[in-house]
Amino acid sequence: MKRLLLCMIFIFTLLLVVYRPVYPTKHPGPAAAATIRKGTTTKQQVHALLGTPQDIERQVPIRQPARIEPLPARYLASEIWTYRTYSHHGTANAAPSAKPSCYFIVVFFDAQGKVLDCETELDD
The 3-state DSSP class for residue 26 equals: coil
Residue 12 lies in a domain: no
Residue 112 lies in a domain: yes
72 DSSP assignment: P
Residue 48 lies in a domain: yes
Residue 6 lies in a domain: no
Residue 16 lies in a domain: no
Q: Read off the pLDDT band of 101 (50, 70, 90).
A: confident
Instruction: Give the pairing of strands 55-58 and 79-87.
Output: antiparallel
CA distance 120 to 81: 12
**Residue 14: predicted pLDDT:** 59
pTM value > 0.75: no
Q: pLDDT of 70-83, one tens digit each?
A: 888 889 999 999 99
Considering the chain, what is the average pLDDT of its residues? 81
> Which CATH number characterizes residue 47's domain?
3.30.1450
Residue 45 lies in a domain: yes
What is the rounded end-to-end Cα distance, in angstroms, of the chain? 53
The 3-state DSSP class for residue 106 equals: strand
| Count of domains for the chain | 1
Q: pLDDT of 15-69, one tens digit each?
A: 665 555 554 456 677 888 899 999 999 999 999 999 999 999 999 998 888 888 8
Could you tell me the residue range of the domain that residue 77 belongs to?
A: 22-90+99-123
Percent of the chain whose pLDDT exceeds 90: 40
